[in-house]
Amino acid sequence: MINLNILLLKSRNPYTQYIIALCLVWLTLFIIFFSFIINYEVNAVEEKFQNIHETIYRHIADSIKIYEVSIESFAGVLTTEQSNDYKNARRLARQLRRHYPDIYMFEVAKRISHGERDELERSMQNSGYSDFMVHTFGYDSDRKSHLSPVKDIYYPIVFIEPELRESMAVLGLDLSDSSSILKDALERSFDKQTHVASRPFKLIENNQGYILYRELRAVEVEPRLELIPRQNLYALLVVDASKLIPDWAYDKKGLSFSLHYPGVGMAQDGNLINYSGNTENINSWPLSLLAELTKTSELKSQSQPFKLTTEYTIHWSDFDFAAIIIYIIIATAAFTIAFLISMVWYRKKVQNTKQHETNYRLANYDALTELPNKIHAKELFYQMVSLLKQNKKKLALLYIDLNKFKQVNDKYGHKVGDILLQHASKRLNSVLRDSDTLARLHGDEFIIFINDIETLSNAEAVVGNIKAAFEHPFNLTGIPITIGISIGISIFPDDGVSFGALLDASDKNMYEDKKQGMHSVVQIFSR
């Protein structure tokens, strides 16, 4: 991976750095915008998932309500039956199943004593159920039918609707001795005067389901005249749990769901449905990392307080790619236009900055030696003075003139003279401190600011170093040239507090040094 910091450091050209920075900004904005689009699409999928969950929840809630109303209606008809053929109950059961085909089966269980068992079996066999026997079924063991053992009380099923061939074995099934699940629900129905749901179990047909129990109470046929005792009957409504979920939910790719019976008042919990979902040919990476869609809701029913949990795996087909492509095209176009506009703006800004820098250097620096000129030297002087007033130090201004420079120009030409000035400025700088400042006034004259001195002797030491440096000849285009130097010193604030006053004082002292230098180059004049 490219180290962007190194890339920017190596790109000394400000324009290149700006291009790199602008590209990084463009890329960052594009990633942010693309993330926003993906997040928007994920939120849309989440909203659809919420709607799916709510639709399934309402379907289950409506089904539960239908089951509750149906078993109450069925139980109500049973209480008015005058005979044991249950014609009215069968008629109602068929009507209800015709309107609500999701109802799996209606059943009636009858409480009988051991002495009534043989009579019930003969009566049912004479009614056309030749194989009717009170028996048990190994729901919790081998899932086979067995003759019911001898005991005091039985609760066999004596009615089913519809009478399907594969369901006929249910007739005669003793609810109290076939399964702990059925027995538990039967016992709970004794205590409550409303419908009660059993824990989940596998039906004889091997489907997962549960049973709604409703104990029948005595009913008054005619007000204050007659009570028909029906406490020995129980209305049952068998529910195929898979029907609680709408069919389309099983076909929805990436959708998983479970319907759980929390087991309120029961010995153990149970799963009615646990569907892992259709995940074939689903490419969800890396979308599955963005959000894990899951929701749980509890059904508000006293008899069937189920808990619905739905989960959804987001996959690429959930997204509106046409809209995403349009968004990306618009974003790319907008970013590109902004990029081009900013490039034009930056170029103009760079040109203006360069022009400003050029104008500034022309106004403040000498073109030949690249030293500060007289105007800029004056600005620097007052900046130094403002600092000197705070620390109560002094400043020396050295006025320097190259002796017999005109003779060099006349003998070797102005080109050599210019080269000599450049070399002289470099030699002057070589003996100065970083805090000192060298500037060119004009021609062969220079000034030096010696900063932070305490006495004149500090400046004289610098002058001595400069004089010593100019004792060595300059080698210009193979021509050794030795040139003298005259220096005058003025001290701030002793010789003046303005730039002009110090310049005049040091200029005067420089001429005194020049006169003396005709006889000795070592003698230094100062005020």
Burial class (CB in 10 A: 0-12, 13-18, 19+), 28: exposed
Q: What is the pLDDT of residue 338?
A: 79
Q: What is the pLDDT of residue 12?
A: 58
Do 154 and 112 belong to one domain?
A: yes
For residue 121 the two structure tokens come to: 């079996």
In a domain, 104, yes or no: yes
- What confidence tens digit (pLDDT) does each residue in 272-302 have? 888 887 666 555 555 555 557 899 999 888 8
Do 200 and 230 belong to one domain?
A: yes
pTM (predicted TM-score): 0.59
Report the distance separating Cα 22 and Cα 347, nearest Å: 13
Pairing of the two strands 219-222 and 226-228: antiparallel
pLDDT tops 80 at residue 89:
yes
Do 235 and 379 belong to one domain?
A: no
pLDDT tops 70 at residue 265:
no
pLDDT tops 70 at residue 519:
no
Q: What is the 3-state secondary structure (H, E, C) of 124-138?
A: HHHCCCCCCCCEEEC
For residue 236 the two structure tokens come to: 């049952």
Choosing from 227, 244, 261, the residue where a domain stops is 244
Do 189 and 226 belong to one domain?
A: yes
Which CATH number characterizes residue 404's domain? 3.30.70.270
* DSSP code, position 3: -
Q: What is the pLDDT of residue 52?
A: 94
Q: Using pLDDT thresholds of 50, 70 and 90, give the confidence band for residue 268.
A: very low
Choosing from 244, 270, 290, the residue where a domain stops is 244
Q: What single-letter amino acid sits at 402? A: L
22 vs 382 pLDDT, higher one: 382
Distances from the Cα of 173 to the Cα of 111, 147, 221, 276, 512, angstroms? 12, 9, 30, 33, 138
pLDDT tops 80 at residue 180:
no
pLDDT tops 60 at residue 93:
yes
Choosing from 187, 211, 244, the residue where a domain stops is 244
Number of domains in the chain: 3
Torsion, CA 461, CA 462, CA 464, CA 470, rounded to 10 = 170
User: Cβ contacts of residue 420 below 8 Å, gap of 6+?
Assistant: 402, 405, 408, 474, 476, 481, 483
* Structural domain that includes position 460: 374-526
* DSSP code, position 165: G
Do 197 and 133 belong to one domain?
A: yes
Tokens 């800029």 locate to 376
Report the distance separating Cα 210 and Cα 238, nearest Å: 6
User: Cβ contacts of residue 158 below 8 Å, gap of 6+?
Assistant: 84, 108, 109, 110, 120, 124, 171, 172
Helix (H) or strand (E) holding 64: helix 14-78
For residue 325 the two structure tokens come to: 């492509």
pLDDT tops 70 at residue 140:
no
Q: What is the pLDDT of residue 526?
A: 38
Q: Looking at beta carbons, which pairs linking 185-190 to residues 24 or more positions away fall under 8 Å?
A: 185/211, 185/213, 186/109, 186/155, 186/213, 186/234, 188/213, 188/265, 188/266, 189/213, 189/214, 189/215, 189/234, 190/215
Phi-psi region of 277 (alpha: psi -120 to 50; beta: other; left: phi over 0): left
Q: What is the pLDDT of residue 253?
A: 84
In a domain, 50, yes or no: no
Kindly report the average pLDDT of the chain as a whole number: 83
Pairing of the two strands 293-298 and 307-312: antiparallel
User: For 57-71, 172-186, 211-225, which range has the lowest pLDDT when averaged over its residues?
Assistant: 211-225
For the chain, what percent of residues have pLDDT higher than 70? 85
Report the distance separating Cα 192 and Cα 441, nearest Å: 114
Report the distance separating Cα 376 and Cα 426, nearest Å: 19
Q: Using pLDDT thresholds of 50, 70 and 90, give the confidence band for residue 478.
A: confident
pLDDT tops 80 at residue 240:
yes
343 vs 358 pLDDT, higher one: 358
Do 78 and 120 belong to one domain?
A: yes
Do 341 and 471 belong to one domain?
A: no
Tokens 């046929």 locate to 221
Distance of CA 341 to the CA centre of its chain: 31
In a domain, 28, yes or no: no
In a domain, 221, yes or no: yes
pLDDT tops 50 at residue 205:
yes
In a domain, 401, yes or no: yes
Which CATH number characterizes residue 139's domain? 3.30.450.350
Do 358 and 388 belong to one domain?
A: no
In a domain, 356, yes or no: yes
228 vs 88 pLDDT, higher one: 88
Distances from the Cα of 267 to the Cα of 141, 227, 419, 472, angstroms? 18, 36, 107, 111
Report the distance separating Cα 460 and Cα 518, nearest Å: 20
pLDDT tops 80 at residue 191:
no
pLDDT tops 80 at residue 204:
no
Do 232 and 353 belong to one domain?
A: no
In a domain, 180, yes or no: yes
pLDDT tops 70 at residue 65:
yes
Q: What is the pLDDT of residue 283?
A: 55
Do 202 and 127 belong to one domain?
A: yes
Do 237 and 88 belong to one domain?
A: yes
Residues 92, 77 contacting (CB under 8 angstroms): yes
In a domain, 219, yes or no: yes
Do 379 and 516 belong to one domain?
A: yes
